[in-house]
Amino acid sequence: TCRADVFAPKLRELHKEKYDIDEIVEIYQKQINPCELVLAGLSFQRMDTVEKVFSTLIGKPFWKSVVPVQVRLKDDHAKQFEVTDRHVKSLRSLLALRHELVHDPDKHKHKLTEDEISWLYDAGLLMFACDIVLNQFIAANMDPELKSQTTKR
């Protein structure tokens, strides 16, 4: 987990709710982590929410941090993949399709098009790149106590 001085101000920015004493007691009794509390109130079904939350967390535009990521297969260096704006657009299209399927299923045909299938592949690479960017942020801001525990192993 990240150092508290790194994530606490960002959580305040993302979560502006106030709690009464009964709610605070319940949060304490259930040992709810502040990150869990904030995330429970967010929906990642819209691209602008994903951008806002992760840009706030890492302190710079999230999609611009993800798009230049390049991935090379360990055993086959000839296979290299680069995340581009197309991958972000594919995820945006998938989220719109998901919305359509959930809220107006009769409007959509029952077979995916080739483009829709390609969006799935694009989104997979994009998620992998997102994971890389977020893990780099966490590693750079790791709680020193946690870091010392992992190096002792």
User: Model confidence over 38-89: pLDDT tens digits?
Assistant: 878 788 888 999 999 999 999 999 999 999 999 887 887 778 889 999 999 9
pTM (2 d.p.): 0.79
User: Model confidence over 12-21: pLDDT tens digits?
Assistant: 888 888 889 9
What's 142's DSSP letter?
B
User: Model confidence over 92-114: pLDDT tens digits?
Assistant: 999 998 888 888 777 766 778 89
